[in-house]
Amino acid sequence: MAITAVQNPTQIHRLPQSKYIDAVRWLPPLSPLSKLAVLAVFDCDADTPFLETHSLSIPSSSQTLTLTPHSRWTPPSRITSLAATAGSLHVVASTLSGSLHVLSSGHDSMVDDNCGSGSMMEPVLSVDEVGFHVGPICGVDVIESVCVSVGEDGRVNLVSFGDEGFRRVFDGNGLVGFNAVKWASPSEFVTGGYGFGLQWWDLRRPGGPVSQLKGYWSQGKTVGMIHSIDIHPSRKHTCLAGGSSGTIFAWDLRWQQQPIVLSGFGVGDAATPSFPESEVWEVQYDCYTKPSNISSSRVLPAMFGSEDGILAVVEQGEEPTELLAEPCAINSFDIDLQNPSVSTEQKPYQTQFLVQEFYIYVFVGFACCHTGCHM
């Protein structure tokens, strides 16, 4: 498979960190020229996990970009999934021990450079009661003030801000397992798990998923799982998923039994070359790349990060565009949607946040906003 090089000028800032970084999410900005991010980190020497918020000031071309720590919280075990609310400064974190926590980012107070004293994030809600989940929570997402959590135990739960306890949506009793979840609307969400299967849920129609994409579409050529799901806000009928063996595909509810494969295994003899060749840990719709075809039947461009260190953009019917190739895994990334373009020195900027084990990469790309050019 041919790879297209990035054509627009891009600034890549590499910020080495002393702790292993598991996940990252943007938060609503502190100011027009300052951004706020939350990091799930793990101190390998102390065997201790942390959740930390950092501010990121957008520099001029002659300045060095730096992260400034704001607040910290110590979870009961290592963080497995991270989500942030779009309209408020709340963070939702799930853990390896099966607990879920909603925290306020506490960005009004500063701490020293080592996060050793000062502001501490405090949970406004914690759910860790018996029966919530058995084992680790694999995926969480939040919309408005409601969280949805899924796990390998096959349980799907809802947690509402301000309420104690949880609401059980589904219990697979260990016969099925889920690895990822994404809200489509305040009453609908999608889950994914083993065998490249996806399930569409509607809270107005309880009892189980209202629609399913069964994993047999790969016709036994591979056994894999879904690691990441995304849904475009303007096209909720199309679900994007990434998983094992470099597989990236879309599920269009209008043609439910036929996935649209962007990378990895195809249906029957129509196999699509896999780029990358390893696990796809994160996939998101890329709102900054101008699609080559804006037809509603086409899948919009998607960005992914993989185990083999590839960060790239894929589009239906087009060659992938490689943004970064590194010698270690890309664990997580996030695209800033809260403030996508702000004028600085007469140029608009767009930023992406990428974590790779002990490194944080911040991409600052300069392009014309009206064209939707990426980086």
State pLDDT tens for residues 340-355.
Answer: 543 333 334 456 766 6
Would you place residue 254 in the very low, low, confident or very high pLDDT band (cuts 50, 70, 90)?
Answer: confident
Average pLDDT over residues 173-179: 90
Contacts of 251 (CB under 8 A, 6+ apart): 198, 213, 238, 239, 241, 259, 260
Per the CB < 8 A criterion, the answer to whether 29 and 38 are in contact is: no
Query: Is CATH 1.10.1040.10 the right assignment for the domain spanning 6-11+81-103+122-371?
Result: no
Backbone angles phi, psi at 51, to 5 degrees: -120, 125
Stretch among 21-25, 205-209, 354-358 having the lowest mean pLDDT = 354-358
Per the CB < 8 A criterion, the answer to whether 100 and 149 are in contact is: yes
Is residue 250 scored above 80 in pLDDT?
yes
Is residue 12 scored above 50 in pLDDT?
yes
Average pLDDT over residues 121-150: 93
Is residue 289 scored above 60 in pLDDT?
yes
Place of tokens 């627009």: 8
Average pLDDT over residues 235-248: 90
Structure confidence at residue 30 (pLDDT): 66
Would you place residue 265 in the very low, low, confident or very high pLDDT band (cuts 50, 70, 90)?
Answer: low
Closest C-alpha to 242, from 230, 231, 254: 230
- Please count the other Cβ atoms lying within 10 Å of the Cβ belonging to residue 174: 12
Would you place residue 306 in the very low, low, confident or very high pLDDT band (cuts 50, 70, 90)?
Answer: very high
**Is the pLDDT higher at 215 or at 228?**
228
Structure confidence at residue 356 (pLDDT): 59
- Measured CA to CA, the distance from residue 270 to residue 274 in angstroms comes to 12
Structure confidence at residue 112 (pLDDT): 43
Structure confidence at residue 305 (pLDDT): 92
Q: Which residues of 81-118 are buried (b: 16+ CB within 10 A; e: fewer)?
A: bbbbbeeebbbbbbbbebbbbbbbbbbeeebeeebeee
Would you place residue 338 in the very low, low, confident or very high pLDDT band (cuts 50, 70, 90)?
Answer: low
- Measured CA to CA, the distance from residue 308 to residue 318 in angstroms comes to 21
Average pLDDT over residues 72-88: 90
Pull the structure tokens for residue 202: 């509607």
Structure confidence at residue 293 (pLDDT): 62
| CA 88 and chain centroid, separation | 18
Stretch among 96-100, 132-136, 191-195, 334-338 having the lowest mean pLDDT = 334-338
Structure confidence at residue 15 (pLDDT): 80
Cα maximum dimension of the chain: 60
Structure confidence at residue 224 (pLDDT): 82
Stretch among 40-49, 86-95, 207-216, 289-298 having the lowest mean pLDDT = 289-298
pLDDT, mean over the chain: 79
Is residue 100 scored above 70 in pLDDT?
yes
Mean pLDDT is highest, among 107-111, 218-222, 275-279, 358-362, for 275-279
Mean pLDDT is highest, among 79-88, 106-115, 340-349, for 79-88
Is residue 181 scored above 80 in pLDDT?
yes
The three-state (H, E, C) secondary structure of the chain, written as one string:
CCCEECCCCEEEEEEECCCEEEEEEEEEEEECCEEEEEEEEEECCCCEEEEEEEEEECCCCCCCCCEEEEEEECCCCCEEEEEECCCCCEEEEEECCCCEEEEECCCCCCECCCCCCECECCEEEEECCCCCCCCCEEEEEEECCEEEEEECCCEEEEEECCCCCCEEEEECCCCCCEEEEEEEECCEEEEEEECCCEEEEECCCCCCCCEEECHHHHCCCCCCEEEEEEEECCEEEEEEEEEHHHCEEEEEHHHCCCCEEEECCCECCECCCCCCCCCEEEEEECCCCCCCCCCCCCCCCEEEEECCCEEEEECCCCCCEEEEECCCCCCEEEECCCCCCCEECCEEEEEEEEEECCEEEEEEEECCHHHCCCC
Mean pLDDT is highest, among 101-110, 126-135, 246-255, 356-365, for 126-135
- Measured CA to CA, the distance from residue 24 to residue 332 in angstroms comes to 6
Is residue 357 scored above 80 in pLDDT?
no
Reported pTM: 0.85
Average pLDDT over residues 1-13: 56
Structure confidence at residue 370 (pLDDT): 21
